[in-house]
């Protein structure tokens, strides 16, 4: 049912009721100086929430968790996680709170979740708050990913809290990493759920041989939320579905040159949604050994490693599920992941290059198309071209006139063989965006926003959430960084 203005929206507490062992009751801190910074009116409407009411004091109280329906039971969620390969048995929501689940007019159930709302029992010495810049970053990149068709958590609002907190600078290259006072903010995040591989690991730790309740109940919640077509108790089918969703997700990341940056098991969802955008960034040139995160000292989560890291995380999920599944059966599903990922990668790159029909054609044509897809990353890397502009040029420029930039003989040969297949260039135009959030452009916009000028940020937000709409703004905002510019370094500010 749509929300009626004047009434507090009803938030359910399915997770808290089903998994009290993984929930800690929590009331968000008051935010007397709170004001809306950025607001996603279209998402509010899709959720059945009245946008005008959300702008009122009562609505702002709802968005900050300080004015909820009496039946609401906000909680901090517990979970474990392998972080850069090392296991942490108790992580959890250190600066976040699940306000509850909302039933939308479309019949979906989504989490309404806050980041930066204050310390919780899982804060591990942190203050529980968040700075404006990182919250604006997650808002913009998650909404850009949604516009590109990538499964992702969504952003409903960024709220300025009026507080000052101490954080390292993440936007000014001359002050990067320097601690300073920054504006506090809360991100209102919407997700299919916040169930993670780390959630399953935590449930596994809570159970005993006599009581498998937490693990079975958590997997039951995951099935009901995300894979209701599966029979109750089909844990192997659930694992297979999670593997398929993650294969599809990372294939889309790789197609778009997206580097997540912190692919710990607590940032790998059971829903197949992208979550936690702290140190993420996009490639300009297709260099497979690129990573951006300041805390990833050895490149564990570099671009080329993302498929294998997701498989590693899925192996940890399989281990956590072993009390409820046959070890050989789930091992076979895990061993099949590379093939599942490859099918997803070929399908997404086939659409990128206008070769979808060729991948379904006779064996000889299929083999040529597959070889072209497999050759392209290395060929583009050697040519040192911007990957996004190259894909667009293939879709829009006159091949016969030689207007597609191709500085190496290998790339010229690749373009000739690709053109011989007569690819579907109209279909390419539908999937190759005219703009992505360029790292240097986003950092400049965030720096302006932190200084009080939201204009450049809102301009960029409008462009990246309409990535197939051409304009002078788009052409200006999508310029790659200068080849000699220092590589962007990102921080886990979210």
Banded model confidence at residue 297, pLDDT cuts 50, 70, 90 = confident
In this prediction the pTM is 0.95
Q: Are strands 23-25 and 86-88 parallel, antiparallel or unpaired?
A: unpaired
| pLDDT of 1 higher than 60 | no
Banded model confidence at residue 426, pLDDT cuts 50, 70, 90 = very high
The answer to whether 211 is a known ligand-binding residue is no
Residue 348's closest CA among 408, 287, 391? 391
Give residue limits of the domains in the chain: 14-194
The answer to whether 52 is a known ligand-binding residue is no
The answer to whether 267 is a known ligand-binding residue is yes
- Distance separating alpha carbons of residues 277 and 418, to the nearest angstrom: 35
The answer to whether 115 is a known ligand-binding residue is yes
Banded model confidence at residue 210, pLDDT cuts 50, 70, 90 = low
Chain position carrying tokens 């998402």: 43
Quick: pLDDT tens for 79-96: 999 999 999 999 999 999
For the chain, report the end-to-end CA distance as a whole number of angstroms: 32
Residues 6+ apart with CB under 8 A from 262: 276, 278, 279, 293, 295, 296, 301, 492
Quick: pLDDT tens for 233-248: 999 999 999 999 999 9
Would you name the residues annotated as active-site residues? 266
The answer to whether 127 is a known ligand-binding residue is yes
The count of C-alpha atoms lying within 13 angstroms of the C-alpha of 347, restricted to the half-sphere facing its C-beta, is 12
């Amino acid at each position: 049912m749509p929300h009626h203005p004047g009434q507090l929206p009803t938030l359910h507490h399915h997770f808290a009721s089903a998994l009290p062992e993984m929930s800690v009751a929590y009331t968000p801190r008051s935010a007397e100086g709170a004001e809306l910074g950025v607001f996603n009116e279209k998402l509010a409407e899709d959720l059945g929430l009245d946008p005008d009411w959300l702008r009122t004091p009562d609505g702002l109280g709802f968005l900050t968790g300080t004015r909820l329906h009496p039946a609401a039971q906000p909680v901090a969620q517990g979970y474990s996680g392998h972080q850069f390969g090392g296991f942490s048995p108790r992580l959890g929501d250190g600066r976040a709170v699940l306000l509850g689940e909302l039933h939308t007019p479309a019949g979906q159930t989504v989490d309404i979740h806050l980041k930066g709302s204050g310390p919780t029992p899982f804060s591990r010495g942190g203050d529980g708050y968040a700075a404006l810049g990182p919250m604006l970053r997650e808002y913009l990149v998650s909404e850009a990913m949604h516009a590109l068709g990538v499964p992702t958590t969504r952003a409903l609002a960024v709220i300025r809290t009026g507080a000052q907190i101490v954080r390292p600078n993440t936007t000014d290259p001359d002050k990067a990493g320097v601690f300073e006072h920054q504006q506090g903010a809360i991100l209102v995040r919407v997700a299919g759920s916040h169930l993670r591989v780390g959630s399953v690991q935590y449930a596994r730790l809570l159970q005993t041989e006599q009581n498998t309740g937490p693990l079975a109940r958590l997997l039951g919640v995951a099935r009901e939320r995300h894979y209701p077509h599966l029979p109750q108790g089909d844990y192997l089918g659930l694992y297979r579905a999670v593997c398929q969703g993650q294969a599809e997700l990372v294939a889309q990341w790789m197609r778009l040159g997206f580097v997540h940056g912190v692919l710990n098991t607590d940032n790998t969802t059971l829903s197949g949604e992208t979550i936690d955008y702290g140190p993420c960034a996009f490639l300009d040139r297709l260099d497979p050994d690129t990573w951006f995160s300041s805390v990833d000292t050895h490149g564990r989560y570099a671009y080329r490693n993302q498929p294998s890291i997701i498989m590693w995380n899925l192996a940890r999920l399989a281990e956590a599920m072993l009390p409820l599944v046959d070890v050989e059966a789930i091992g076979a599903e895990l061993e099949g992941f590379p093939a599942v990922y490859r099918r997803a990668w070929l399908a997404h790159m086939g659409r990128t290059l206008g070769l979808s029909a060729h991948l379904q054609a006779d064996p000889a044509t299929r083999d040529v198309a597959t070889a072209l897809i497999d050759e392209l990353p290395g060929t583009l890397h050697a040519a040192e071209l911007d990957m996004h502009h190259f894909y667009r040029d293939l879709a829009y420029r006159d091949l016969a006139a030689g207007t597609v930039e191709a500085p190496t003989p290998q790339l010229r040969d690749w373009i000739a063989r690709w053109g011989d297949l007569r690819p579907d260039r109209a279909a390419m135009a539908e999937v190759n965006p005219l703009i992505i959030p360029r790292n240097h452009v986003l950092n400049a916009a965030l720096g302006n926003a932190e200084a009080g000028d939201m204009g450049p940020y809102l301009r960029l937000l409008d462009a990246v959430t309409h990535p197939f709409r051409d304009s002078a703004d788009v052409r200006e905002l999508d310029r790659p960084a200068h080849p000699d510019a220092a590589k962007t370094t990102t921080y886990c500010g979210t």
